[in-house]
Amino acid sequence: MEPSGWAKAPSVLRPGRHFLQGDEACAEGAIAAGCNYYAGYPITPASEIMEHLCRRFARMPGRVFVQMEDEIASIASVVGASWAGARAMTATSGPGLSLMLENIGYAIITETPCVVVDVQRAGPSTGQATRPGQGDVMQARWGAHGDYELIAISPWSVQEAYDETIRAFNLADRFRVPVILLMDEAVGHLRENMTVPDESPIYQRWKDVTRAPFGEAEVPPMPAFGDGASLLVTGSTHDAWGYRRTTNSQAQDQLVTRLVSKILNHGDEIERSFLHLRDDQDLDILLIAYGFTARSALAAARLARQAGVKAGLLRLTTLWPFPDEAVRHAAACAARVIVPELNRGQMLREVQRVAPQAQGYHKTNGEVFAPGEIWAAIQQELAQ
Amino acid sequence: MKKGSTAAILKYIRPRSFPTPFCPGCGHGILLGAILRAVDELALDFSKMLFVSGIGCGGWIPSPHFHTDTLHVTHGRPVAFATGAKLFNPQLQVVVISGDGDLASIGGNHLIHAARRNVNLTVICSNNLIYGMTGGQVTPTTPRGARTLTTPAGNPEPPFDLARLVAAAGATYVARYSVWHIRPLIASIKGALQHSGFAFIEVLSTCPTHYGRRNENPMPAGMLRALKKNCVTLERARSLDPAELAGKTVIGQFVPEPAAPLATAP
């Protein structure tokens, strides 16, 4: 049997500095993570990921690229390939994520590792296809029906688009769960320098064919089709060996409870957030932001510091599961908290759950925040 | 043990999967047996086969009954899931088994695109002309005039000719038989399993519970007799004029056209 668990894989791209676009860095991160199946459908502003992987996979034997007929088929084939043993990914934007959500729910109940990239644009609906937004935060969290937990990660830079894509693949295999990489148009189309490391950590899927593939262990083993496990995979409620249990209340309760707790019990492995400009003193104002908006917020906090205001930034990289403790801890030292977002306050309410003093600052005109705008919002908040 | 016999195919059945969930008189059990007989007669390595199915009674033919890898997916999407598994691991022999509602209505787009791509899949559509699991609503293959839960005055819409639809989309093996025409059906499934490229078989099945009951044919034997009476072979159909073909279903191998005439129905 192949070894499972953590290992190191040498980088595919030449180690060192590269000048890349966010979408390209995401694609290169996928390649570094061993992604060997990509299915997608064209959509702005995510198409560059598909185009880049199409070119790169063509020279990499064993890596499969396919353009499917729609987003539903894309995620369906990704799940099929994952069960055939692939490290599989698709990428889209908000409208495509909407179409994928039923099968993301299927990936959750069948515990299928896969990575879904959503390069968010201004919505709702077709909205402004080339303009940034952060309006899919709640769609990513609650878009599929039923009760579940999944993992969503939001990179703020080209470097993180690379690093966090690798982490997304590893978390997907570690917890047998779909991981949504919530980029935004501004990060996806951003070009800047990044550093490719010599090697990256890779989590190899546990493939024991002798253990139950849907229970007993908190995160059960996942053999591939053709491994001789006679897998019985179904989106209906099932027992530990996959037999449908469509009216058994105990089976339903056990399955949902395990699907939720296998994520929530491991926040320490999943959550990632960063405190910027934070010293030991109490803060006058704490900004909490993610994605491209965190760049504007960091610049705004620097403007505030220059003006003598003790401002700090808590930057969330893992959005789901929500990092309650990190937010509570950071907010406890700040009299005032502002959550700037390119939406009407989707993450604000989550923050308020653990930091009731938080105020929102929203922008939904299809443009990113200028640092001065957030600095002005800070001044207004301090004047109250 | 004789190849394709009932005793021989029991080894392909997963423990704990009986009794089947099918109603008395359902044709899906006959199709289940026909598929396993074809597998046995070809002596295929069952452990390298993957059966993908969608939602509905037809989706329960392989899942959980077939004792190998089975993937029972969301409504309408089995062809797309199967495409991913097959493209990533071409060593797997991938077979999709699902119903007319699943493959032709909600999943119609995936069906025609997989045919166009000529993905190396075998797709078997168990066509009982009705949504059985949800209680008997009209499907895209329900004949015009037939009564269903959602067409109580008779279906006003014309049905798809599924076999010809998939042939037009580019499938390189297309056939249509019924669960009455068991020998040619098994032969056709064997042909499809040996075919390299996209193979599609439409299998007319029976649903006395939801279709026959509302259309003056409530008994299982009566439904089978209707299949015998209403089906004409492709060869015979060529000599019939349109008036004689009205209300008939043409069965046989549509793509590629067989070089020699097929055995006629028993």
Domains observed in chain B = 23-255 (3.40.50.970)
Task: Work out the minimum CA distance from B44 to partner chain A, whole angstroms.
Answer: 14
Phi, psi of B72 (to 5 degrees): -105, 110
- Nearest CB neighbour to B77, from listed A64, A103, A234: A103
Contacts for A368 with CB less than 8 Å, ≥ 6 apart:
A132, A186, A292, A293, A296, A342
Task: Work out the minimum CA distance from A60 to partner chain B, whole angstroms.
Answer: 13
B134-166 as b/e: b if 16+ CB within 10 A:
eebebbbbbbeebbbeebeeebeeebbbbbebb
Task: Work out the minimum CA distance from B95 to partner chain A, whole angstroms.
Answer: 13
Q: Cβ–Cβ of A66/B77 closer than 8 Å?
A: no
Query: CATH number of the domain at A274-315+322-383, please?
Result: 3.40.50.920
Instruction: Give A147-182 pLDDT, tens digit per residue.
Output: 999 999 999 999 999 999 999 999 999 999 999 999
Given pLDDT bands bounded at 50, 70 and 90, which one contains residue A257?
A: very high
Instruction: Give B20-64 pLDDT, tens digit per residue.
Output: 999 999 999 999 999 999 999 999 999 999 999 999 999 999 999
Please tell me if residue A72 touches chain B, with a CB cutoff of 8 Å. Answer: yes
pLDDT reading at B109 higher than 60: yes
Q: Cα–Cα distance between B55 and A245 in angstroms, integer?
A: 15
Q: Cα–Cα distance between A291 and A309 in angstroms, integer?
A: 24
Contacts of A242 in chain B (CB under 8 A): 64
Instruction: Give B124-153 pLDDT, tens digit per residue.
Output: 999 999 999 999 999 999 999 999 999 999
DSSP state of B177: E
pLDDT at res. B261: 56
Please tell me if residue A230 touches chain B, with a CB cutoff of 8 Å. Answer: yes
Q: Cα–Cα distance between A89 and A38 in angstroms, integer?
A: 5
From the list A302, A291, A274, A270, the residue with the least C-alpha distance to A374 is: A302
Q: Cβ–Cβ of A229/B69 closer than 8 Å?
A: yes
Q: Cβ–Cβ of A228/B14 closer than 8 Å?
A: no
Return the residue of B nearest to A223 by Cα.
B69
Look up the CATH architecture of domain A5-204. 3-Layer(aba) Sandwich (3.40)
Return the residue of A nearest to B78 by Cα.
A76
Instruction: Give A284-311 pLDDT, tens digit per residue.
Output: 999 999 999 999 999 999 999 999 999 9
Contacts of A78 in chain B (CB under 8 A): 84
Phi, psi of A369 (to 5 degrees): -75, 135
Break chain A into its structural domains and give their ranges.
5-204, 274-315+322-383
Q: Cα–Cα distance between B206 and B181 in angstroms, integer?
A: 13
pLDDT at res. A280: 67
Q: Cβ–Cβ of B113/A102 closer than 8 Å?
A: no
Q: Cα–Cα distance between B101 and B151 in angstroms, integer?
A: 15
Tokens 């699943």 sit at which residue? B102
Residue pair A231/A220 in contact by the 8 Å Cβ criterion: no
Instruction: Calculate the CA A32 to chain-centre distance.
Output: 17
ipTM of the complex: 0.97
Residue pair A172/A354 in contact by the 8 Å Cβ criterion: no
Please tell me if residue B80 touches chain A, with a CB cutoff of 8 Å. Answer: yes
Q: Cα–Cα distance between B85 and A80 in angstroms, integer?
A: 5
Q: Cβ–Cβ of A69/B110 closer than 8 Å?
A: yes
pLDDT reading at B104 higher than 80: yes
Please tell me if residue A243 touches chain B, with a CB cutoff of 8 Å. Answer: yes
Please tell me if residue B70 touches chain A, with a CB cutoff of 8 Å. Answer: yes
pLDDT at res. B260: 59
Query: DSSP string of A253-294?
Result: HHHHHHHHHHHHTTHHHH--EEEES--SSPEEEEEEE-THHH
Instruction: Give A24-78 pLDDT, tens digit per residue.
Output: 999 999 999 999 999 999 999 999 999 999 999 999 999 999 999 999 999 999 9
Judging by DSSP bridges, how do beta strands A334-341 and A318-320 pair with one another? unpaired
Beta bridge partners, A239, equal: none
Residue pair A161/A31 in contact by the 8 Å Cβ criterion: no
Section A329-335 average pLDDT: 94
pLDDT at res. A278: 78
Task: Work out the minimum CA distance from A3 to partner chain B, whole angstroms.
Answer: 20
